[in-house]
Amino acid sequence: MPEVEAAAREVLGRGSVGAVVVSLGERGAALVPRDAPSTWLTPPPIDEVTSTVGSGDAMVAAIVAALLNGSSLRDACRRGVAAGTAAVQLPGTQFASAADIDGLVELVEVR
């Protein structure tokens, strides 16, 4: 997805942020740091999507919470993708439990 990386690098060039995280929906997310190669995070396979409402919000919230708890940016993004994946398996705007997210983190593929 060169266009995703190019757009993220353009954003990086405009300001003082150190990284951009791009949600790719069902394809996961891209982490594009200013001074390092991009990382692509692929969500674990799931049987059924119940609702996509709030899945992006869940991803961002999990990234922020993980960073506040001392995780690296890469690990925080991995947790974010797991949280977004957990969210799509629940009806409406229900919150995934920490246990649901924990069970998916190790299944998030990092490339």
Residue among 97, 5, 4, 84 nearest 44 (CA): 84
Catalytic-role residue among 35, 57, 100, 102: 57
Non-local (6+) Cβ contacts of 111 within 8 A are 39, 40, 41, 42
57 is catalytic: yes
Q: Is 22 helix (H, G, I), strand (E, B) or coil?
A: strand
Full strand arrangement of the beta sheet holding 29-33: 19-23, 29-33, 39-42, 109-110
**Would you please indicate which residues are annotated as catalytic (active-site) residues?**
57
